[in-house]
Amino acid sequence: MKRFGVSLEDNLLKELDSLVEKHQLPNRSQAIRFLIRRNQIQDKWKGNEEVSGCIVLVYDHHKRDIINKSMHIQHDYPNSVLAVQHVHLDHHNCLETIAVKGKAKKLQELADRLISLKGMKHGELVMSTVG
Ligand code: NI
């Protein structure tokens, strides 16, 4: 572990401290690690590297064909989909979390196809990394 001094303008330091508070980080060092890591992950996704992540979907399973269509799309990416968890939130709504791994562009494409399905109430791709 290396130590180094950081000079920051007041407003940036305020931002850093609000990040510490918002994410309940133990200190500023952890906040800087968090930012570097997030930046690294964004670069990996932009550079179409091998990454991992999670697609979160909420939909009404009564909507015509949405489950079949979602399944059909997922079967186009057998090597990208690691696991699917389906939870029945209430009488209408289902929450699905799909763990994915592979080339960033392919995962983004899969997420876009699912999120844009007719009847999808909410969809989001959480971008993470392999290593
Ligand atoms: Ni359900």
Which range of residues forms the domain containing residue 33? 10-46
Which CA distances in Å does 7 have to 12, 21, 27, 99?
10, 20, 16, 40
CATH code (residue 80): 3.30.70.1150
Q: Are residues 39 and 55 in the same domain?
A: no
Residue 67: pLDDT over 80: yes
Determine, yes or no, domain membership for 2. no
Q: Are residues 32 and 57 in the same domain?
A: no
- CA of 52 from ligand 1 middle (Å) equals 25
**Residue 127: which of 40, 53, 35 has the closest Cα?**
53
* pLDDT tens sequence across 32-62: 999 999 999 999 999 999 999 999 999 999 9
Determine, yes or no, domain membership for 78. yes
Determine, yes or no, domain membership for 4. no
Q: Are residues 41 and 56 in the same domain?
A: no
| Residues in the 5 Å CB sphere of ion ligand 1 | 61, 88, 94
Q: Are residues 66 and 120 in the same domain?
A: yes
* pLDDT tens sequence across 7-30: 999 999 999 999 999 999 999 999
- Cβ-contact 70, 57 below 8 angstroms: yes
The token pair at 2 is 């290396």
